[in-house]
Amino acid sequence: MPRVKTAVPRLPQRHVHRPRLIAALEAATPGQVTLVSAPAGYGKTLLLAEWAARRPELTAWVSLDADDDDHRFWSGVLAALATCAVVPADSTLRRLAVPAGPSADPTFLAAVVDALDLLPGPVRLVLDDVHEVTTPGPVHGLACLVRDRPPGLHLVLASRSDPPLPLARMRMVGELCEVRAEALRFSVPEASALLAAADVVARPDDVRLVVEQTAGWAAGLRLAAVSLREAEDPDRFLSDLVGNSRALSDYLVGEILARLPAAVLDLLHAVSVCDPVSAPLATAVSGRLDAGEVLDALEHDTSLVLSSGPGRIWYRLHPLLRSHLLADLTRRRPDLVSDLHARAADWYADGGRPVPALAHARRAGTPDRVALLLRRSAVPLVAEGEHGTVRDTLDWLGDRVVAQDAWLALVAALVDIESGALGPADAHLQRADAVWPARPAPELVELRTLVRARRVSLTGDPAEMVEATEVLGGGAEEGRGPVVMGELERALALLAVDRRGEARVVGAAAVQRARQLGQPYLAARGLTVLGAVEAADGDYRRMAELAEEPTTSRGARTGRPRPAPRCRPSCAPTGRC
């Protein structure tokens, strides 16, 4: 048995000590099994080596590898135990012969367990790289040792994936102590210490950025430290860690990706365009019906994928892994990247989520798809306060495309008005008139009426405001068009001419409808209008109560709450909010 297989690995000269993880290992109670499970490069071996060095007389160490058959596995275990001072010279463990097929020999297995039980004190048996043990013999032998372990044996297993043991049952009955990838990730202070140990002078913001890009992955941090030390422009280097670090990219390929089946690798390439990705979305972009099962298995077996959110139905790839996969796919198949983004855009659009749909459509580089999605979703997005998304998409399409489409020009005018840019808004209104169709759809006519009313409400006189908003809200019964926005403009106009009772009724209806439709931004605007009505009546207590009312209601559609718009002092007498 080579000495190196049973020797505790030496710690590097500039090893970063991690007391919180040592404490987690020490927290195991007698008789428990400790599982340290994480992908390659998470620092499992170094952590256990540091822990073993604290009590070497109690620790037996076996470094497993792919050549360990049944006989070699048990020879290594016995040789490691023989190095422990706690194992007496006359212990059976020092003279026990390994038979042929030891894991199938109940007499041999019983002799090992009995000898461990007779030890005068506790002993720690560390089995490193358990994932390398794949043949039936040692797999069965390990399961028997776990099942029949005596109280004084602290068995510690380090593996890149969970071993085939009854972990769920052990966890339920308190027999399992676990240290997983999440705990092994370097914190910002730990990463700062690692970079300092590598003679890298890094600003606090740089340390946080490295931790964010590596997700605290130990190997990624160490390779980044080496590259940073040699980088002429650290800021530029950190902007694309994977792209700028050949060593890091080579490690990802050699130690992680090369071990995955080709079909799994293809799936990961496909979903790298999405962050995060759900099982149905993964199926949509990859075409694989089992995409969700594969992602779930990767999370369970490798921690390369992590689930999150309510119900844990959304998955995220490790940041460095995703960056590498996406860069690799973009380099080899830019056409496929565009197609994958287009599939993601269609999936989000079909699910009624226009913000990510537009983002993916832009990345797909398909102006027709972007314009179509924006026509469908622009008004609801403005109603939800997503002005930035609409503006970014209009800018992406460009002035030439917007100027040739009456709907898009009106949307651009509406966003301009919401931001107070009245000059550009007027220009977009003129462009809409210039390309106005001979037979406009009712929704297009209603949108122009709304935009003009909104424009008049900012600078027109009160009578003109009332006239401009008289036809708004006509599609309310059918749920057609920007109904709530129209009702709010109408309420403001009525308030401006001191028809407060009517303004209160229309404004209250707008708030109720906004809540039912899951439009908290418009509900907040409506509450502001109602507050202005109460202020005009001198009822400041009611105005304060309205400021505290919720913008959503039970059973409403999903919507993101938005801060209520601030009401200017002139709002109450004029209705211009």
DSSP sequence for 185-242 = SPPHHHHHHHHHHTT----HHHHHHHHHHHTT-HHHHHHHHHHHHH-S-HHHHHHTHH
| 206 and 74 inside one domain | no
Report which residue type is found at 347.
W
| 141 and 52 inside one domain | yes
**Crossing angle for the helix pair 188-197 and 204-214, to the nearest 10 degrees:** 110
Distance CA 227, CA 238 (A): 10
Domains in the chain, number: 3
Quick count: other Cβ atoms within 10 Å of Cβ 464? 15
pLDDT score, position 440: 93
| 221 and 150 inside one domain | no
Does 431 reside within a domain?
Answer: no
Task: Indicate the residue among 206, 238, 256 that finishes a domain.
Answer: 256
Distance CA 289, CA 157 (A): 34
| 23 and 165 inside one domain | yes
Domain of 242 in residue numbering reads as: 188-256
| 202 and 177 inside one domain | no
Taken in order 533, 563, 460, 411, is the CA torsion positive or negative?
negative
Distance CA 312, CA 417 (A): 40
Return the structure tokens found at 108: 């041999």
Return the structure tokens found at 130: 């358990």
What are the average pLDDT values for consecutive 10-residue runs of the chain, which has 577 residues?
A: 86 90 92 92 94 94 93 95 93 94 95 95 95 94 95 95 93 95 94 89 86 86 77 66 65 78 94 94 96 89 74 84 90 96 96 94 95 91 88 95 95 92 94 95 87 81 72 48 75 85 89 83 86 90 86 49 40 45
pTM of the complete model: 0.67
| 86 and 137 inside one domain | yes
Please give the helix or strand (H or E) that residue 307 lies within, else none: strand 305-308
- Classified as helix, coil or strand, 161 is coil
Task: Indicate the residue among 184, 209, 244 that finishes a domain.
Answer: 184
DSSP structural state of residue 94: G
pLDDT score, position 458: 78
pLDDT score, position 243: 57
pLDDT score, position 549: 84
On whether the CB atoms of residues 440 and 409 are closer than 8 A, the answer is no
pLDDT score, position 454: 83
Does 419 reside within a domain?
Answer: no
Give the Å distances, CA to CA, from 431 to 313, 322, 393, 577.
Answer: 45, 43, 18, 26
